[in-house]
Amino acid sequence: MNRNRRQALKAALLLTSPWLTAGRAIRADESTSSVKTGQTVVVIGAGMAGLAAAQRLQAGGYNVIVVEGRHRAGGRMWTDYSLGTAVDLGAAWIHGDAARNPLMKMVKQYDLLTKATDWDETWLYDDSYGELEDETYDTIIRKSEQIIERLYEEQSTAPIGRSMADALAPILKGLSGDPIVQRGVRWWLASLIEVEYAANFDQLSLKYWNVDEAYDGHDVIIKGGYQKIVERLVQGLDIRYGHVVRQIDISQSGSLVTTDQGVIECGQAVVTLPLGVLKQGKIKFNPKLPDEKVASIERIGMGVMNKVVLEFKDRFWPEDASCLGLLKKSTDDLTEFMPMTPYTGKAVIVGFTRGRHAKSIETMSNEDVIQAALSDLRSMFGSRVPQNIAGSVVTRWHSDEFSRGSYSCISPGSSFSDYKTLARPIDNRIFFAGEATHAKYLGTVHGAYLSGERAANEIMQSMGSGNNTTETSDSNR
Ligand SMILES: Cc1cc2nc3c(=O)[nH]c(=O)nc-3n(C[C@H](O)[C@H](O)[C@H](O)COP(=O)(O)OP(=O)(O)OC[C@H]3O[C@@H](n4cnc5c(N)ncnc54)[C@H](O)[C@@H]3O)c2cc1C
């Protein structure tokens, strides 16, 4: 079986969701109106949410200006080509290649190629005992699934403040038997849950864990990377790069967006600032953001995932491997690698770090991060790992002033309603989009896309130029 990872989690309980209704997502270039409204909308941020909102509004006849702090579009979609192949340093997978996933509609429309990740090609190694036997591997999966079932059972009655760590601690303490299986179960759960949500167990709510929605189908990688979508979505838009927003002011009759390059007057603004940036509170809103919005911003978690990309002259891992895991005494530090071989044939491997460990590598030099990753690889493949690498890239999403983290997660004490509160417009002049405003598909590119469309629709409806056909069953409002 080759499901996507969030489905794999759900499958443990054969959950069916009331949200699983066939939706109709709207193409970015699908016109809803040919009439020029004369209305100027400033979209803050040229990530997926901003680009989706801008395309929708422009197609609806609005005069749209996108202001972007960086000197590139895409935000947390960022494809690197420096190692002679496409490597996504931010989002890499389209989660769920079902036809109703709006990203798959773009893949089709733009004639892009994708390749599914075969999660069954996960190879596990123990740092003392080497590659695991099939039987041990199967036992690890079976035991992990039993634990996931227990977590689901506890979930329904869990108080809102209970964390995944609270629920897992007694279960993991009770693990007995083969020490490799015990280590394997810890690794498997950390990989499936912590890496997926870019946060540690104590940073994740039990009650709202994995009840966000997922599209059916495989996790797929786009040939050429997410940049292939970004480069199509920027077409025809007025994007002002290197414009760092400092203030959004609706205290007077118009709306004023102040950037470090000057002030832009508009009718409405769409704020797609990442949750991590909003948490910092450095961008001024006049009047101040409502207390309930500020409280939601504080409560929602901002996960951190960093990637350590290593290029080698030759491949030394199994050709078809899509995931390589190293079982160690502790799962605190780097635990898994994703080879790019199945997608590009190149000897490039991507190490994934999540939560506190991901944050901690940002305090280290690139050289130290790379040596730590090589040391883990040597524990798996011994002397087959060469002394010298051909190239490398290390990400630092938490220190990045334009993201301050990787993607949102529901932390203990938080809930879906915080995402909806964050999404709520202010005075029909400031509208909000971005992955942390989409309660159903939080933390994903498709969630960001749908949130952008939603914000554009809200503006059009508030102006009486809305077209209800654009409201999809994937909307979370
Ligand atoms: C390492 C990593 C791995 C991921 N993996 C996946 C994956 O495999 N699949 C998946 O679906 N999702 C994944 N995600 C999540 C996904 O990338 C995001 O959910 C999505 O791209 C967010 O889009 P957005 O438009 O909400 O925000 P962003 O893309 O962050 O866009 C916000 C924009 O605002 C700009 N900005 C910020 N501050 C200012 C300012 N002051 N002034 C002007 N502009 C500003 C930013 O530069 C940015 O361009 C991953 C993310 C990371 C970091």
| 409: helix, strand or coil | strand
Residue nearest to atom 12 of ligand 1 (CA): 444
Give bridge partners of residue 426 from the DSSP assignment. 430
Q: Distance from the CA of 430 to the center of ligand 1, in angstroms?
A: 20
Q: Distance from the CA of 210 to the center of ligand 1, in angstroms?
A: 20
Mean pLDDT value across residues 105-130: 95
| 219: helix, strand or coil | strand
Domain residue extents for the chain: 37-113+221-299+413-470
Amino acid 179: pLDDT: 93
Q: Distance from the CA of 397 to the center of ligand 1, in angstroms?
A: 10
Q: Distance from the CA of 29 to the center of ligand 1, in angstroms?
A: 21
Phi/psi for 138 (5° steps) reads: -65, -40
Q: What percent of the chain has pLDDT over 90?
A: 86
Ligand 1, CB within 6 Å, residue ranges: 44-50, 67-70, 75-77, 90-93, 95, 244-245, 272-274, 277, 283, 305, 307, 397, 402-403, 406-407, 434-435, 443-445, 448
Q: Distance from the CA of 71 to the center of ligand 1, in angstroms?
A: 14
Amino acid 385: pLDDT: 97
pLDDT digits (tens, 9 = 90+) for 307-360: 999 999 999 999 999 999 999 999 999 779 999 999 999 999 999 999 999 999
Give bridge partners of residue 240 from the DSSP assignment. 67
DSSP track, 240-263: EET--EEEEE-SSSSEEEEETTEE
Q: How many alpha carbons fall within 13 Å on the CB side of residue 49?
A: 29
Higher pLDDT, 280 or 11: 280
Q: Which residues contact 158 (CB under 8 A, 6 or more apart)?
A: 167, 206, 207
pLDDT digits (tens, 9 = 90+) for 73-92: 999 999 999 999 999 999 99
Mean pLDDT value across residues 363-376: 97
CATH of domain 37-113+221-299+413-470: 3.50.50.60
- Whole-model pTM: value is 0.93
Atom of ligand 1 nearest to the CA of 283: 41
Query: To test ligand 1's pocket by mutation, which of 402, 441, 474, 476 has the most ligand atoms within 8 angstroms of CB?
Result: 402
DSSP track, 37-86: ---EEEEE--BHHHHHHHHHHHHTT-EEEEEESSSSSBTT--EE-TTSS-
